[in-house]
Amino acid sequence: MSAPGLRERKKQRTRDALIKVALELFTTQGYERTTVDEIAEAVEVSQRTFFRYFASKEEVAFALQRIVEEEFVRALAARPPEEGPFDAMRNAVLASWDGVGDAIHEVVPVELYLRNFLMIESTPALLAAHLRRSSEMEETVARLVARREGLDVDADPRPRIAVAAFCGVMRVTGQMWGKGTDRTLEAIRALTERYLDHLGPALSLHWREPGTRD
Amino acid sequence: MSAPGLRERKKQRTRDALIKVALELFTTQGYERTTVDEIAEAVEVSQRTFFRYFASKEEVAFALQRIVEEEFVRALAARPPEEGPFDAMRNAVLASWDGVGDAIHEVVPVELYLRNFLMIESTPALLAAHLRRSSEMEETVARLVARREGLDVDADPRPRIAVAAFCGVMRVTGQMWGKGTDRTLEAIRALTERYLDHLGPALSLHWREPGTRD
DNA sequence: TTGTCAATTGTCAGTGACTGTCACTAGCCT
DNA sequence: AGGCTAGTGACAGTCACTGACAATTGACAA
């Protein structure tokens, strides 16, 4: 268990190096302007080896994102069963924002993760991939929520519907965070809470009179 | 106005032929297994010419989708201002499903459009592109909704939030329609209504007891 | 009608992501 | 020590896409 062997350790080091170098290059020069050859050369492996570690150039850009997503799923699964689905998802997101630092920190500084996230949102090809990954995530989450509530996802559409609405708001949150000026973890945490609070009221018809302002 | 000239007509014919041939090949052999060279050859133009009509192989796969999206935006803009944002979006979707036949029919049979939609949903690369397109669409719709309600999208997050939730549900609808057996326009229309009815209740916490079944 | 202009197209060469193959090297295990 | 095998590099090939330039062909005026 504690002795991974030289071979394993070497692989892990290569993998981490590829991620680190790739993200560094992506965030400084831009994703499109960075070639796989360039990354491979910087780590001193062949291009072919890069593609043995990552199925595509895209995949390496999502290496950190994957960690965060897993963190969220773990957090959701850990929520007490008394919580309704919405509170559970909401609290899981907030909890995973808190835990993100530790989870990422072992590979790269958190700041690089945030820059990486901004890059994903602003690069069309990566945004597309991100959204597809998110939709796979939605499926996972819907199943989790259904299980919590003792429902069958394939017979009852409500879990998927609720999750879709929830994730839609989360996506807007990420977007708005990227557009803003306060690019800190605290900022995105605060936005998450604020936007989710708007979801219920936003469904009602009468926006003009009362209006939860801002 | 009525005389587009030989040059224009020729271009239009080439464009239509490329779309038709491409969709036919995509839906029979699959998107990935169809090369651009193959499409170009079938229409008897050079590969270079294909790329003068479509910026990418993906783009031609979304040619019909674009028409439908425009139809929806038109329908939404045409909704009476008394309708609340949700009713307006809901009715616009339903109306555009009704109008889709006419809009598409001029290029290809509707059945090909439906097959094409299924192909998009089941091809990872196209699904990703589809979701990105959808997110651009969300932005457009959010602005439209905000205008209807006399709000500023950049100051008030509610339009975007509402639209995100709505579009999330619409995406689930499309997905579930694809998984089902009744692949008709009527079926997707019915699903649209049913799923949207679930959105409000799905946000509340108590799913187990009352439960709008199915 | 004819000649000129400009739009459209084909050809060619090149880049970059990705894949299959095969020989080779280096940890691992007995 | 020596065989086994995972991991790697080198090489060739496919496919999407782009820039440059030359050839073609409608459009339109003289």
B11 touches chain A (CB under 8 A): no
Q: Which among A132, A149, A195 is the nearest to B157, CB-wise?
A: A195
- CB contact at 8 A, A189 and B67: no
Q: How far is residue B33's CA from residue B30's CA, in Å, rounded to a whole number?
A: 5
A164 touches chain B (CB under 8 A): yes
The residue among A84, A82, A74, A86 whose CA lies nearest residue A165 is A86
- Rounded (10°) CA dihedral A79, A82, A85, A91: -40
The pLDDT of residue B200: 77
- Rounded (10°) CA dihedral B144, B145, B151, B152: -50
Nucleotides of strand D lying closer than 7 angstroms to a protein CB: 6-11, 15-20, 26-28
The residue among B77, B111, B117 whose CA lies nearest residue B95 is B77
Q: Quote the crossing angle between the two packed helices B5-29 and B63-77, to the nearest 10°.
A: 110
Confidence check: pLDDT of A211 > 60? no
Tokens encoding B202: 């799905």
Cβ-proximal residues to A37 (8 Å cutoff; 6+ apart), any chain: A47
Cβ-proximal residues to A105 (8 Å cutoff; 6+ apart), any chain: none
How far in angstroms lies nucleotide D28's C1' from the CA of residue B5? 12
Q: Which among A84, A85, A164 is the nearest to B169, CB-wise?
A: A164
Distance of CA A46 to CAs A39, A41, A42, A50, A199, Å?
9, 7, 10, 7, 49
Confidence check: pLDDT of A203 > 70? no
Tokens encoding B118: 């299924």
| A1-27: average pLDDT | 89
Chosen from A126, A163, A172, A198 to mutate, greatest number of chain B CBs within 10 A:
A172
Proportion of chain B above pLDDT 70, given as a percent = 92
Residues of A in contact with B134 (CB under 8 A): 131
- CB contact at 8 A, A153 and B179: no
* Secondary structure string (H, E, C) spanning A100-166: HHHHHHCCCCHHHHHHHHHHHHHCHHHHHHHHHHHHHHHHHHHHHHHHHHCCCCCCCCHHHHHHHHH
Per-position DSSP letters for A56-81, written without gaps between them: SHHHHHTHHHHHHHHHHHHHHHTS-T
- Over the stretch B41-100, which tens digit does the pLDDT of each residue have? 999 999 999 999 999 999 999 999 999 999 999 999 999 999 989 899 999 999 998 888
Domain ranges, ordered by start, for chain A: 5-57, 62-203
Q: Which among B157, B164, B194 is the nearest to A168, CB-wise?
A: B164
Q: How confident is the model at residue A108 (pLDDT cuts 50, 70, 90)?
A: confident
Question: Which stretches of chain B score pLDDT less than 50?
Answer: 1-2, 205, 209-214
A171 touches chain B (CB under 8 A): yes
- Which amino acid type is present at position A160? R
Distance of residue B3 Cα from the nearest chain A Cα, in angstroms:
38
B180 touches chain A (CB under 8 A): no
The pLDDT of residue B16: 96
CB contact under 8 A, A206 and B84: yes
Distance of residue A75 Cα from the nearest chain B Cα, in angstroms:
19
The pLDDT of residue A33: 97
Q: Which among B155, B171, B202 is the nearest to A214, CB-wise?
A: B155
A161 touches chain B (CB under 8 A): yes
- Over the stretch A49-76, which tens digit does the pLDDT of each residue have? 999 999 999 999 999 999 999 999 999 9
Mean pLDDT of chain A: 90
Q: For CA atoms B89, B90, B92, B93, give the dihedral sign.
A: positive
How far in angstroms lies nucleotide C4's C1' from the CA of residue B64? 40
| A166-178: average pLDDT | 94
Q: How far is CA A185 from the centre of its chain?
A: 13
CB contact under 8 A, A135 and B131: yes
Chain B CA closest to residue A84: B205
How many other CB atoms are found less than 10 A from the CB of residue A85?
A: 27
- The CATH topology of domain B62-203 is Tetracycline Repressor; domain 2 (1.10.357)
Q: What is the DSSP letter of A209?
A: T
CATH of A5-57, one of 1.10.10.60, 3.40.1190.20, 1.20.1260.10, 3.90.550.10: 1.10.10.60
Q: Which long-range contacts (CB under 8 A, 24 or more apart) does B46-49 make?
A: B49/B14
- Over the stretch A121-136, which tens digit does the pLDDT of each residue have? 999 999 999 999 999 9
Whose CA is nearest the C1' atom of nucleotide D6?
A: A7
Confidence check: pLDDT of A206 > 70? no
**CATH level 2 (architecture), domain B5-58:** Orthogonal Bundle (1.10)
Whose CA is nearest the C1' atom of nucleotide C27?
A: A7
Q: How far is CA A31 from the centre of its chain?
A: 18
- Which amino acid type is present at position B183? R
How many other CB atoms are found less than 10 A from the CB of residue B15?
A: 16
The residue among B57, B59, B65 whose CA lies nearest residue B33 is B57
